[in-house]
């Protein structure tokens, strides 16, 4: 008998066996109420086991996706909470809130009393000083991103470099876990900035959000700053990107001073 004939023979035998088994189960089912109940329970148990097994397998393969989605949602909620904390002073129209802590950062609400907007070395003065717990080299943020860095402090006021200052540089990251680069004002537009030192092999897209990296110990990580508009290659090795800032520096008034509570410990560790 040929190979094809053998296959056809075994298929026929298997079909006859299945038909006979189905007929036997049918006869058993109608043989009496006891057999009917026993057979129904067996079929239902078998189907439940199969369904439960497939659901467990499906759940296992979807676990990674679910965990990633939960992680992303959790991170989004944390960013929103931090943003609302920054916004609270502006919404209430006051800086009378007391200082508060989130993680290893202290936040001190303040109001800008003077701001320079007409040259390459812009500065601002806020109405909080050393008596309020503010120290030099603290960061200043607003509800839409980075505002400046404190340079000098008196008892009741602080002098700070604005981001719209040619000497100001902020360590930033593209996206949640992308490349880190240096962000500075472009010297022209109050909402324009330049992000440099991004390796050319990094994939970027127009509209990607730029966040603080947290590497400087001045600004907390993951504060949204702006979005990528366009980019060009520098010396065939790195990208230079035009960033559109979220903050309109012509309208800022209420800000928050950020102080890293672990800053001195980090400094001492770096000296070793």
Q: In the prediction, which pLDDT does 250 show?
A: 81
Average pLDDT over the chain reads 78
- pLDDT band at residue 104, thresholds of 50, 70 and 90? confident
Name the burial class of residue 39, with classes exposed (0-12), middle (13-18) and buried (19+) by CB atoms within 10 angstroms of its CB: middle
More confident site: 260 or 69: 260
- pLDDT band at residue 126, thresholds of 50, 70 and 90? very high
More confident site: 43 or 193: 193
Distance separating alpha carbons of residues 212 and 245, to the nearest angstrom: 12
Look-up: residue for tokens 């199969």? 50
pLDDT above 90 for 260: no
Name the burial class of residue 257, with classes exposed (0-12), middle (13-18) and buried (19+) by CB atoms within 10 angstroms of its CB: buried
Provide mean pLDDT across the span 19-27.
Answer: 62
How far from the centroid of its chain's Cα atoms is residue 41's Cα?
Answer: 51
Provide mean pLDDT across the span 184-200.
Answer: 92
More confident site: 16 or 79: 16
Structure tokens at 121: 């070395």
Least trusted range by pLDDT, from 46-60, 108-122, 152-166: 46-60
- Domains along the chain with CATH numbers: 97-271 (2.40.10.340)
Distance separating alpha carbons of residues 144 and 141, to the nearest angstrom: 8
Q: In the prediction, which pLDDT does 90 show?
A: 44
DSSP string, 168-184: --EEEEETTT--EEEEE
More confident site: 228 or 105: 228
State pTM to two decimals. Answer: 0.64
Q: In the prediction, which pLDDT does 263 show?
A: 76
pLDDT above 60 for 143: yes
Tell me which H or E stretch contains 13.
helix 3-29
Least trusted range by pLDDT, from 136-140, 190-194, 196-200, 260-264: 260-264
More confident site: 100 or 207: 207
pLDDT above 90 for 57: no
pLDDT above 90 for 8: no
pLDDT above 90 for 102: no
pLDDT tens for each residue of 84-96: 555 454 444 445 5
Look-up: residue for tokens 């676990």? 63
Any idea of the CA torsion for 70, 72, 78, 82, to the nearest 10 degrees? -160
């Amino acid at each position: 008998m040929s190979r094809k004939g053998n296959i056809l023979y075994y298929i026929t035998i298997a079909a006859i066996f299945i038909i006979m088994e189905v007929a036997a189960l049918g006869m058993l089912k109608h043989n009496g109420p006891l057999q009917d109940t026993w057979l129904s329970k067996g079929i239902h148990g078998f189907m439940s086991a199969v369904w439960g097994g497939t659901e467990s397998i499906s759940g296992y393969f979807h676990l990674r996706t679910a965990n990633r989605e939960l992680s992303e949602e959790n991170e989004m909620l944390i960013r929103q909470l931090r943003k609302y904390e920054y916004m609270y002073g502006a919404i209430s129209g006051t800086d009378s809130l007391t200082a508060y802590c989130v993680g290893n950062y202290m936040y001190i609400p303040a109001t800008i009393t003077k701001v320079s907007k007409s040259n390459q070395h812009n500065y601002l003065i806020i109405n909080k000083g050393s008596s309020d717990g503010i120290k030099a080299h603290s960061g200043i943020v607003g509800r839409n991103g980075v505002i400046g860095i404190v340079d000098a402090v008196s008892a009741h006021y602080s002098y700070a470099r604005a981001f719209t200052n040619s000497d100001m540089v902020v360590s930033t990251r593209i996206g949640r876990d992308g490349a880190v680069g240096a962000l500075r004002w472009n010297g022209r537009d109050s909402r324009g900035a330049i992000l440099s030192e991004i390796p050319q092999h990094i994939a970027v897209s127009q509209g990607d959000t730029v966040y603080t990296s947290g590497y400087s110990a001045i600004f907390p990580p993951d504060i949204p700053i702006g979005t990528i508009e366009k980019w060009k290659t520098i010396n065939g090795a790195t990208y230079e990107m035009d960033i559109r800032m979220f903050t309109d520096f012509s309208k800022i008034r209420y800000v928050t001073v950020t102080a890293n509570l672990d800053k001195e410990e980090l400094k001492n560790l770096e000296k070793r």
